[in-house]
Amino acid sequence: MGLSLPLFRKFCPVLCSIFFGAYPCFAGSISGKIMLDSTWEQKVFLSYISQFSDLNVASEQFLISETKVAENGEFHFEDLDLNEGWRVYRLHCIKRGDPISTIFIGGREHNHFHFLFNPSAEASIESRSGNKLLKDLEEKNLQANKSLKRILELEEGYHSASRGSQAQKEIEKENYDKNLIRIADAAQLEILSLWCVYLLDPGRNYPAHSAWFSEFTSRDFDLVSYSKPIIDDIRSRELLDGPIENERTASWLVVITTTIISLGIIFYFAMAGRSKSKKPDLGSLTVQERKVFELIIQGKSNKEISQALHVELSTVKSHVNSIFGKLAVDSRATLMHLWLDN
C-alpha cells in the first residue's frame, strides 16, 4: 500500500513545509497528446510567460523545458522547477528547420497554446477537435483554464462582431468592457482578473472606466510581474488625465511661447536681410571681382565678361561665385537689385 504518484505530488509540498519550513519551488507535471505530421519536429517546448505583453513574443529566454512526442502523440513534462501560484505558460511546436524560438499566429500553422498552470496541479492538454491543428488545443483538467477559455472566447467574439454602424460598435464595446470588468471583479484567481484588465487595455480605455481602474490599482497583488506593467499603465494615464485644467493652461502657455519665439526669429531674419541689403560690402571684393561685378550689372553674360577681360570662362565663373558668396546673393537679378538700391 504505497502512496499513488498524484497523491504523493499533492502532499509533497505540505510534507516539505513541515520538515523544511518552506518550499520555494514546486515539481509540477504537464502531460497531453498532440498529433504532429512529418513537417513538424516531434518535440514540444514549454515556456513561462511572465507578463501579458510577452504572450505573442518568441524568445529563447522564456523556454523552461522541452520533451519528445511519442509515436502515439503523447508527451509528458515532469519535475518542472516552477514558481508558486497560477501563472501563464505556453506550449509550442516548431516546423523542421525552424529556430526553437518560433511563433506562428493564425493560419493552419498556428503553433502554440497558452494556458494557466499551478505546479501543485496536473494539467492535461489535448486537441478538442481531434484534428492536427495546434490552435485547437485545450487544457481539460483545470477549472482555471475553463475560465480563461471563456475570457478568450469573449475577446474573439467581440473582434469578430466588430462591424456594423458606429452606434452598434459602441454598444458592443460597452458590453465587452462590462463583461471583462465583471469577470475581473468576480474571479477568484488573481491571474484571471489581471488578464481581463490587460484585455481592457487601460492605455486606450482609461477615460471610459477611470474610476474602476483607479480602484483596481489600490488592490494588493502577489503576481507582481503581471500586475506591475498594468498598474504602471493605469497610473501614467491618471497623471495624464488628472489635472486637465493645468494641462490646458500648460498647453496654452506652450502655444503662446512658441508663437512669440517664432515671431522673434522671423523678425530677426527680416531685419538681418534688410540690413544686409542696405549695406552691401563692396569693399570686400578684389580688384578683378570689382571689374566682373561692374560688367555683371551692365547685363553682360559670363562669355562676354571673359572676352572683355581676356580671361578663361571658368575663371569668370569662379569670380561670379565668389562675388555671390561675399555679397550673400544667389542670382544676378538679386545682385542687380542690390546695386540699384544703393
Could you say which DSSP state residue 69 is in? P
Closest distance of CB 222 from another protein, Å: 21
Closest distance of CB 192 from another protein, Å: 20
Closest distance of CB 100 from another protein, Å: 7
Decide: is 308 part of the binding site for another protein (CB under 8 A): no
Near another protein by CB under 8 A: residue from 17, 131, 143, 162: 162
Q: What is the DSSP string of 127-158?
A: ESSSSS-GGGEEE-S-HHHHHHHHHHHHHHHH
Decide: is 136 part of the binding site for another protein (CB under 8 A): no
85: left (phi > 0), else alpha (psi -120 to 50), else beta? left
Decide: is 59 part of the binding site for another protein (CB under 8 A): yes
- Quote the CA–CA distance of 158 and 169 in Å, as a whole number: 9
Decide: is 133 part of the binding site for another protein (CB under 8 A): no
Give the CA dihedral 70, 76, 78, 84, nearest 10 degrees.
Answer: 150
Decide: is 167 part of the binding site for another protein (CB under 8 A): no
Closest distance of CB 242 from another protein, Å: 23
Decide: is 152 part of the binding site for another protein (CB under 8 A): no
Q: Cβ closer to another protein: 101 or 288?
A: 101
Near another protein by CB under 8 A: residue from 17, 56, 259, 298: 56
Number of residues that bind another protein (CB under 8 A): 23
- Locate 247 and state its grid cell: 494641462
Decide: is 301 part of the binding site for another protein (CB under 8 A): no
Q: Cβ closer to another protein: 99 or 299?
A: 99
Instruction: Tell me, residue by residue from 109 to 128, as one string, x for binding to another protein by CB under 8 A and - for no binding.
Output: x-------------------
Q: Cβ closer to another protein: 53 or 131?
A: 53
Decide: is 225 part of the binding site for another protein (CB under 8 A): no
Helix, strand or coil, per DSSP, at residue 116: strand
Q: Cβ closer to another protein: 63 or 181?
A: 63
144-150 long-range contacts, CB within 8 A, separation 24+? 144/86, 144/116, 144/118, 144/189, 144/191, 144/192, 145/115, 145/116, 147/183, 147/187, 147/189, 147/192, 148/115, 148/116, 148/192, 148/195, 150/183
Residues 6+ apart with CB under 8 A from 337: 277
Decide: is 168 part of the binding site for another protein (CB under 8 A): no
Q: Cβ closer to another protein: 60 or 341?
A: 60
Helix, strand or coil, per DSSP, at residue 280: coil
Q: Which stretch binds another protein (CB under 8 A): 6-14, 93-101, 267-275, 326-334?
A: 93-101
Closest distance of CB 61 from another protein, Å: 5
In what helix (H) or strand (E) does residue 29 lie, and over which residues does it extend?
strand 26-33
Q: Distance between alpha carbon 219 and the CA centroid of its chain, in Å?
A: 26
Near another protein by CB under 8 A: residue from 37, 60, 220, 245: 60
In what helix (H) or strand (E) does residue 232 lie, and over which residues does it extend?
helix 224-241
Helix, strand or coil, per DSSP, at residue 98: coil
Torsion angles phi and psi, residue 213, rounded to 5: -60, -40
Q: Cβ closer to another protein: 109 or 136?
A: 109
Residues that bind another protein (CB under 8 A): 54, 56-61, 98-107, 109, 159, 162-163, 169, 204
